[in-house]
Amino acid sequence: MIRIFLLSALPLLYSGILLAQLPPNAEEIIKAVDRNLSARTTVLESKMIVHGRRATRTISSKSWMLGQEKAFTEYMSPAREKGTKMLKIGNRMWTYSPQTDRIIQISGHMLRQSVMGSDLSYEDMMEDPKLFERYNAVIDGEEIIDNIDCWRILLTAREKGLAYNSRKLWVDKERMIPLREELYAKSGKLIKSLRISEVMRVGDRWYPRIWLFKDELKLNSKGTEWIVDKIEFDLDIPEKRFTKSGLRK
């Protein structure tokens, strides 16, 4: 009886061992990445270091985000930018400048312009970071990045109308967080790159602490660093935070 049981269980056991040895599905990896990076709500304080041709500027800000739909950012320093606010609702965006006391809608081609001289565009800031729903993923290989074992994932647009036709991600096998990302145009030309040099533990998730964004079409660009000083997830944010009237307050 025992022999019969062992004989019948053997193929199942064998296939289980094989499954454990197989690499995870690319989509599972992307889902895990999304779980780390996305939250119901996010409140964060950060610094953006813009490396210009002549000088380097540091801009600090505080942001409140409600899923991927709504975001509100207030710039705290330097003095020139203090009080500048940005509001994103869906695919619309407004900025408020205290110097002019005016609210301006950013739309159309303005969305592709640089935010405060950085390598980031307004469109980049508005982009939904949830990759799984929008891209098909395949594992392109494995690579060691900064002594960390990573999956190299190739993403191709699942739907029409995405800003980037394809992306390449290097995902930390252990923490399931991208350490590098490359964004490609339809022609295959590399447009932007992203490098994460420090990761932090926040509750039960990993989150990038130091990011380096680079517009790869800009020759000699040193990129823009984005440092997350403090981040909290799933706090209750009042809905009135995300209103146009809140920009003037």
Partner 1 sequence: MMIFRLAIKNLLGAGMRTWLNVVVTSFSFTIIIFFNAMYNGMRQDTLRILLDTEVAGGQLWHPEYDPFDPLTIEDSHSIISEELQKMVAGNEAMPVLVRQATFYMNGRSSVGLMKGIPPGQEIVRMPLKVIGDYSGDYIPVVIGSGMSKKTGLRKGDLFTVRWLDALRTYDADEFEVAEVIKLDNYRLDRGVIWLSLEKMRELLQMPGEVTYIVLKRDHAFNNQADSFIYKDIEYFMKDIDSAIEADQVWARTIFGLLLIMASLGIFNSQVLSIFRRKKEIGTLMALGMTRQRIVRLFTLEGGLHSVLALFVGALYGTPLFYYLATRGITIPYGEEAGIISTGSLYPVFGPQLIFGTMLLVAGVVTVVSFLPARKIANMQPTEALRGKIS
Phi and psi based region of residue 91 (left: phi greater than 0; alpha: psi -120 to 50; beta: remaining): alpha
Virtual CA dihedral for 36, 57, 222, 192, nearest 10 degrees? 40
> Quick check: 183 and 189 in contact, CB under 8 A?
no
CB of 160 vs partner 1, minimal distance in Å: 5
Return the number of the residue (18 or 219) whose C-beta is nearest partner 1. 219
Q: Does 148 bind partner 1 (CB under 8 A)?
A: no
CB of 101 vs partner 1, minimal distance in Å: 22
Return the number of the residue (10 or 190) whose C-beta is nearest partner 1. 190
Q: Does 9 bind partner 1 (CB under 8 A)?
A: no
> Quick check: 208 and 18 in contact, CB under 8 A?
no
Return the number of the residue (164 or 207) whose C-beta is nearest partner 1. 164
Q: Does 186 bind partner 1 (CB under 8 A)?
A: yes
Candidate ranges 71-79, 154-162, 195-203, 226-234; the one touching partner 1 (CB under 8 A) = 154-162
Hey, what are 231's tokens?
């981040």
Q: Does 158 bind partner 1 (CB under 8 A)?
A: no
Return the number of the residue (52 or 67) whose C-beta is nearest partner 1. 52
Candidate ranges 15-23, 55-63, 67-75, 158-166; the one touching partner 1 (CB under 8 A) = 158-166
Candidate ranges 10-18, 129-137, 144-152, 180-188; the one touching partner 1 (CB under 8 A) = 180-188
Q: Which amino acid is at 139?
A: I
Q: Does 11 bind partner 1 (CB under 8 A)?
A: no
Q: Does 113 bind partner 1 (CB under 8 A)?
A: yes
Q: Write down the residue that tokens 């950012």 correspond to.
A: 73
Is residue 61 classed exposed, middle or buried when 0-12, 13-18 and 19+ CB atoms within 10 A define those classes?
buried
Q: Does 25 bind partner 1 (CB under 8 A)?
A: no
Q: Does 187 bind partner 1 (CB under 8 A)?
A: yes
Candidate ranges 30-38, 69-77, 183-191, 206-214; the one touching partner 1 (CB under 8 A) = 183-191
Give the contact letters, 36-75, x = binds to partner 1 (CB under 8 A), - = no.
-----------------x----------------------
Task: Write out the H or E segment, with its range, that includes residue 198.
Answer: strand 190-202
Please list, residue by residue across 19-50, b when 16 or more beta carbons sit within 10 angstroms of its beta carbon and e when fewer do. Answer: eeeeeeebbebbbbbeebbbbeebbbebbbbb
Beta bridge partners of 136: 156
Q: Does 107 bind partner 1 (CB under 8 A)?
A: yes
> Quick check: 54 and 35 in contact, CB under 8 A?
no
